[in-house]
Amino acid sequence: MQYKKFGNTYMLRIDVGEEIMASLKAMCAQEGIRLARVSAIGAAEGGAIGVYDLAEQRYHREDLEGFMEIASLAGSVTEMNGEPYIHLHATLADQQNVVHGGHVIELRVGATCEMFVDTLEGTVTRTKSEELGINLWTF
Amino acid sequence: MQYKKFGNTYMLRIDVGEEIMASLKAMCAQEGIRLARVSAIGAAEGGAIGVYDLAEQRYHREDLEGFMEIASLAGSVTEMNGEPYIHLHATLADQQNVVHGGHVIELRVGATCEMFVDTLEGTVTRTKSEELGINLWTF
Amino acid sequence: MQYKKFGNTYMLRIDVGEEIMASLKAMCAQEGIRLARVSAIGAAEGGAIGVYDLAEQRYHREDLEGFMEIASLAGSVTEMNGEPYIHLHATLADQQNVVHGGHVIELRVGATCEMFVDTLEGTVTRTKSEELGINLWTF
């Protein structure tokens, strides 16, 4: 990956074979980013997304193979246990033009991923909700 | 819902059972927001989206049941008749991993909705186009 | 199209029958915009999107007819050969409520397109990758 800062916004290029969640987390750790809005487009090659099941408190995982367009990728960087916490959702179009969508579990870059990371000043942490099984924004 | 302002950006957490359009409108009314860009991810439980039919000047409504990931949610706050006017489009992934998309008519939060509201200074109103049947941005 | 600047952000309304890529490029040329993040919603009537084939180094083109909601549209303005370079990905919902997604080749506005163009100071160019066949962000 390569990145550069323009005002409060980082433009991040994630390269072929790099995993998107890990790349963004590494950049946030390097740059001390703890609060940001994230949006991106690009292309992926393999990954897994999920749709949450509230009753079972787990994600139904959908493994995706092959080369796909990242039609949209959006979410946030917040903080949990002193570390940057990445939460992204995506829509992906596969070689058969079928669109998949959901919570990003892992996603490897297929050609390039072009990401904007708009940093904000301040802190938002995550607190686990026992009722929901997910980590909620805590102000 | 809960929210907090960071610079010109509000981070808004909308909670289980709350309707997203109404929650955002209420926040805008409380905070005096009349112009903003909106983007969010999260999870919904039931709602309705629509695809416009220009010939009939109405939305083909698609009612959605069950728990869904909000893969993307984007739009704007402008002003019409002195009130905040919310316009959002969404892509949603259901429990069968099928993706739905369109104009948001109503959408109830299923687990959490994590929204960024980037306020802008100025005013953009809406004017009804009789030809199109929709309310257009008016500068 | 019509547009107005609010701080560092342009709000751009693209009108019925106008092509979105060309309209945005024309606005960037007029306003001297060379670096920006782009996000929009709206409705389209016809267009073409593509999913890249890395082995063949070309897009599998999907022609789309009829009126569609633009559920999401996102990307960037950078610079290549001294001109604004537009790169957008979209998700589109058709009259049968089927969602299509991918790289925008061309997209004509069906009712209105409501776009935010957040300008950044600085320059990012594009360099052709012979290995990938695409033009990568170059810092």
- Asked if residues C24 and C86 have their Cβ atoms less than 8 Å apart, the reply is yes
Task: Characterize A30-46 residue by residue with b for buried, 16 or more Cβ atoms within 10 angstroms of its Cβ, and e for exposed.
Answer: ebebbbbbbbbbbbbbb
Residue C60 in tokens: 């599998």
10-residue block means of pLDDT along chain A (139 residues)? 98 98 98 98 97 93 96 98 97 96 98 98 97 97
Measured CA to CA, the distance from residue A87 to residue A123 in angstroms comes to 15
User: What does B46-85 look like in DSSP terms, one character per residue?
Assistant: EEEEEEEETTTTEEEEEEEEEEEEEEEEEEEEEEETTEEE
- Amino acid at position B40, single letter: A
Task: Characterize C50-60 residue by residue with b for buried, 16 or more Cβ atoms within 10 angstroms of its Cβ, and e for exposed.
Answer: bbbebeeeebb
Task: Identify which of C74, C101, C122 has the shortest CB distance to residue A99.
Answer: C101
| Residue reference for tokens 């957008």 | C88
Q: Which DSSP state fits C121?
A: S
- State chain B's mean pLDDT as an integer: 97
pLDDT per position as a tens digit, B79-98: 999 999 999 999 999 999 99
Q: How confident is the model at residue B61 (pLDDT cuts 50, 70, 90)?
A: very high
C89: closest chain A residue by CA: A71
Give me the tens of pLDDT residue by residue for chain C, a chain 139 residues long: 999 999 999 999 999 999 999 999 999 999 999 999 999 999 999 999 999 999 999 999 999 999 999 999 999 999 999 999 999 999 999 999 999 999 999 999 999 999 999 999 999 999 999 999 999 999 9
Residue B2: CB partners within 8 Å, gap ≥ 6? Answer: A137, A139, B12, B13, B15
Q: Which DSSP state fits C97?
A: -
CB pairs under 8 A between A and B: 100
- Which whole-number Å values give the CA distances from A24 to A14, A19, A91, C31, C92, in the listed order? 9, 9, 18, 32, 27
Touching subunits of C (3+ CB pairs, under 8 Å) are A, B
| Residue reference for tokens 């009314």 | B29
Task: Identify which of B9, B43, B91 has the shortest CB distance to residue A52.
Answer: B43
Complex confidence, ipTM: 0.97
Chain B hits for C74, Cβ within 8 Å? 74
Q: What is the pTM of this model?
A: 0.98
Residue B136 in tokens: 């257009």
Predicted pLDDT of residue C50: 97
Residue C108 in tokens: 């004509």
Q: Look at C71 and B137 and tell me if their CB atoms are within 8 Å.
A: no
- Strands C83-93 vs C9-15: parallel, antiparallel or unpaired: unpaired
- Amino acid at position A49, single letter: I
Task: Identify which of C7, C41, C94 has the shortest CB distance to residue B89.
Answer: C41
Q: Which DSSP state fits C134?
A: S
Q: B122 to chain C nearest CA, in Å?
A: 7
Predicted pLDDT of residue A80: 97
Q: Which residues pair with A91 in a beta bridge?
A: A72, A101
pLDDT per position as a tens digit, B30-45: 999 999 999 999 999 9
C2: closest chain B residue by CA: B139
- Asked if residues B131 and A88 have their Cβ atoms less than 8 Å apart, the reply is no
Measured CA to CA, the distance from residue B19 to residue A89 in angstroms comes to 20
Task: Identify which of C67, C91, C110 has the shortest CB distance to residue B101.
Answer: C91
Phi-psi sector, C24: left (phi>0), alpha (psi -120 to 50), beta: alpha
Q: What is the SS3 assignment for A18?
A: coil
Q: How confident is the model at residue B11 (pLDDT cuts 50, 70, 90)?
A: very high
- Asked if residues A95 and A69 have their Cβ atoms less than 8 Å apart, the reply is no
Predicted pLDDT of residue A49: 98
